[in-house]
């Protein structure tokens, strides 16, 4: 996701730097086709097939993977979104947003469903984010909002996935109870929980990059 996104992980409180994508999902798959006889290509193709282009932050990548990875791996198996895809607003919505185009974090245009991640650093202008939500809703979009607190809480994350599935597929989300442990492990591997572990398994304080923190006044 990072290779095909608009960021690179970096030291410091923000935790990442902005930059153009280094490649695309299609480019990765084309390269792997060209070296198909190389050892490990089959596994690399499976991984590349899960990539979604266009992520603008680490949390967008984590959110998309959490929602869309197969249920057998602990994900929720939702349809793949478009990340930061540009949408053209109606004149009425444009007056609310203050511009004719906007780019939701995650969107499913065919179903007119979008999601915004509310974080402190990357989405610092909370009022602008809410104006974008209002504009999209004015145009008939169903927009869900999420913060790090909801993603860390498995019950809340599951409820969010259920809501999205009803929007996207018109039915409830059926999750195998036997995969509950995998869902927990996936969340813990994708999401920062505010600490790291030393060699003996002891929790150590860490700098929490600001992209994991909720925006002021948000969820």
- pLDDT exceeds 60 at position 207: no
- pLDDT exceeds 70 at position 195: no
Domain ranges, ordered by start, for the chain? 55-212
Phi, psi of 134 (to 5 degrees): -65, -40
Q: What is the pLDDT of residue 202?
A: 41
CA distance 89 to 143: 14
Q: What is the pLDDT of residue 45?
A: 92
- pLDDT exceeds 50 at position 147: yes
Residue 180's alpha-carbon distances to 70, 75, 154, 155, 212, in angstroms, are: 13, 10, 9, 11, 24
**Per-residue pLDDT averaged across 111-126, rounded?**
75
**Per-residue pLDDT averaged across 67-94, rounded?**
96
Q: How many residues does the chain have?
A: 219
> What percentage of the chain carries pLDDT values higher than 70?
84
Q: What is the pLDDT of residue 193?
A: 58
CA distance 139 to 30: 38
- pLDDT exceeds 80 at position 33: yes
Q: What is the pLDDT of residue 120?
A: 58
Q: What is the pLDDT of residue 127?
A: 65
Q: What is the pLDDT of residue 212?
A: 44
CA neighbor of 64 nearest in space, from 48, 46, 47, 51: 51
pLDDT tens string 11-32: 877 788 999 999 999 999 999 9
- pLDDT exceeds 80 at position 219: no
């Amino acid at each position: 996701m990072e290779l095909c996104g608009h960021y690179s992980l970096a030291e410091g409180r923000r935790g990442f730097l902005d930059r153009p994508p280094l490649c695309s999902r299609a480019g990765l798959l084309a390269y792997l086709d060209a070296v198909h006889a190389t050892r490990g290509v089959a596994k690399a193709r499976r991984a590349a097939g899960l990539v979604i282009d266009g992520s603008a932050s680490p949390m967008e990548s984590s959110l998309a993977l959490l929602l869309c990875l197969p249920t057998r791996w602990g994900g929720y198996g939702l349809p793949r979104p478009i990340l930061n895809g540009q949408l053209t607003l109606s004149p009425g919505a444009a007056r609310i947003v203050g511009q004719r185009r906007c780019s939701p974090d995650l969107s499913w245009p065919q179903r007119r469903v979008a999601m915004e991640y509310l974080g402190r650093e990357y989405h610092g202008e909370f009022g602008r984010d809410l104006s974008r939500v209002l504009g999209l809703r004015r145009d008939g979009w169903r927009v869900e909002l999420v913060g790090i607190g909801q993603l860390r809480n498995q019950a809340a994350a599951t409820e969010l996935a259920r809501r999205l599935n009803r929007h996207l597929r018109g039915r409830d989300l059926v999750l195998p109870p036997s995969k509950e442990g995998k869902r927990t492990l996936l969340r813990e591997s994708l999401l920062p929980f505010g600490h790291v572990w030393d060699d003996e398994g002891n929790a150590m304080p860490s700098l929490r990059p600001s992209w994991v923190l909720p925006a002021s006044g948000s969820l």
